[in-house]
Structure 1
Amino acid sequence: MGRRRFRGEYTFKVDAKGRVSIPAAFRRVIEAGDPDYTEGLRPQFVLVYGPKGQDYLEGYTIEEINALEDKINSLPASRLKSRLIKEKLTLSHDSEIDPDGRLVLPARLREKIGLDKEAVFEGTLNTFRIWAPDRYEQHMSEDDEGLGFDIPEGTDLMEALDMALARQGGE
């Protein structure tokens, strides 16, 4: 069976205690990415809330956060390593899925991203993001930047993917 990934977008209500349902498809990925998970246990994962200006929470499976930690740890002491530790590891929150398939978001995390009565879950392959609806809409309406090359107007995204992979292979 292939590797499970986070896909799609989902909107769920957030109650007064900060509880929000996690999409069922995302729960399966979190379970598969928690090496200690067995039926009856609460699947564990990590939410990275990052530095000021990051308008979303980024969810990592245990396997993904461990792989990221290994990459960061392999770097020599540097400003990059220090910044990665701070932004991806220090500014994070260990989380779990409760028996009802929900996540409890602490008030400080909800406040940081402007979350109130609804949360939008965005699948981003190896991670997922949790957004306040207004910030998600803004994010989705922004032009794609930082792609490394311009995508000609009218180009199919699958063609753009092939162009990017060809460029990567040719470097």
Structure 2
Amino acid sequence: MEMLIGEYSNTLDEKGRISFPSKLRSVLNQGELVVTQGLDQCLMLFTAEEWVSLTDKIMGSASVFDEQKLIVMRHFIAPAQRLEFDKSGRLSIPQSLREYAALKSGCECKIQGMIKFIELWDSSEYAKYKTDNAASLKDAASSMRNIIF
């Protein structure tokens, strides 16, 4: 699979559907994605292959007796759902996940390719996230200083 990259805007319709950019759909080259809660009031969407890889890693390091790991499993794995693209290239986002990400009918959304997964944000929540985290961006970037081009 090619890289999922780019930042796109689209509107969530009154039925909770969002059109996905053709550039991302062509890279995905499949009819479904797995969607779940992200960390920062956004949704994360994965191909089935990437979802299996991630959940195998989570479950491989998890124990049902480890409270911290159960928190992560309950947040990411339990709410996950498979979604199929309709004939028009739209995904119907389940109500519970729309509520988590503050996605309301008619809201402008950000769709962001993150190489191996896609994030879906309410545009105003994403703008707020960027503003709230602007001061930490340099520190966060410098924490990755061991990456060499």
Tell me which interval the TM-score lies in, with the shorter structure as reference length: 0.7 to 0.9
Describe the superposition over 1:42-69 as per-residue Cα deviations: whole angstroms up to 9, x where unpaired: x121111257xx3111111111100012
Larger RCO (CA under 8 A, 6+ residues apart)? 2
CA distance in 1, matches of 2:33, 2:79: 14
| Cα offset, 1:110, TM superposition | 1.9
Q: 1:55 aligns with which of 25, 41, 62?
A: 41
- Deviations along 1:77-105, one digit per CA (max 9) or x if unpaired, are 23343233212211212111111100111
User: How far apart, in 2, do the equivalents of 1:109 and 1:133 lie?
Assistant: 16
1:165 maps to: 147
CA contact (8 A) 1:50 1:91 kept: no
CA offsets 1:7-58 (integer angstroms, 9 cap, x no match): 1111112211111101112212332xxxxx5xxxxx121111257xx31111
**Whole-angstrom CA distance in 1 between matches of 2:125 and 2:94:** 19
Alpha-carbon distance in 2 for matches of 1:29, 1:60: 12
Give the length in aligned residue pairs.
141
Offset, 1:74: 1.7
Deviation at 1:108, TM superposition (A): 2.6
Is the CA contact 2:62–2:70 (under 8 Å) kept in the aligned structure 1? no
Change in Cα spacing, 1:79 to 1:148, as seen in structure 2 (3 Å) is farther
Give the 3 Å change call, closer, same or farther, for CA 29–82 of structure 1 in structure 2: farther
Distance, in Å, in 1 between the alignment partners of 2:34 and 2:129 is 22
Q: CA deviation at 1:145?
A: 6.9
Deviation sequence 1:112-135 (CA, Å, 0-9, x none): 222221211011111111111101
Corresponding residue number in structure 2 for 1:153: none
Tell me which of 62, 79, 82 is aligned to 2:67: 79
2:3 counterpart residue number:
5
- Structure 1: tracts of 5 or more residues without a match: 32-36, 38-42, 151-160, 167-171
Kindly report structure 1 stretches of 4+ aligned residues shifted beyond 4 Å.
Answer: none
Residue equivalent to 1:147: 140
Correspondence 1:69 to 2:48: no
**Structure 1 contact 56–129 (Cα < 8 Å) conserved:** yes
Note if contact 2:36-2:97 (Cα within 8 Å) is conserved in structure 1. Answer: no
Higher mean C-alpha displacement, 122-131 vs 103-112: 103-112
C-alpha RMSD of the superposition: 2.3
User: Cα gap change, 1:137/1:148 in structure 2, threshold over 3 Å: closer, same or farther?
Assistant: closer
Larger Rg: 1
- Equivalent residue number for residue 157 of structure 1: none
Write the distance in 2 (CA, Å) between the matches of 1:148 and 1:11: 25
Q: TM-score under structure 2 normalisation?
A: 0.81
Determine the C-alpha separation between the residues in 2 that align with 1:132 and 1:93: 19
Mean Cα displacement is larger for which, 78-87 or 130-139?
A: 78-87
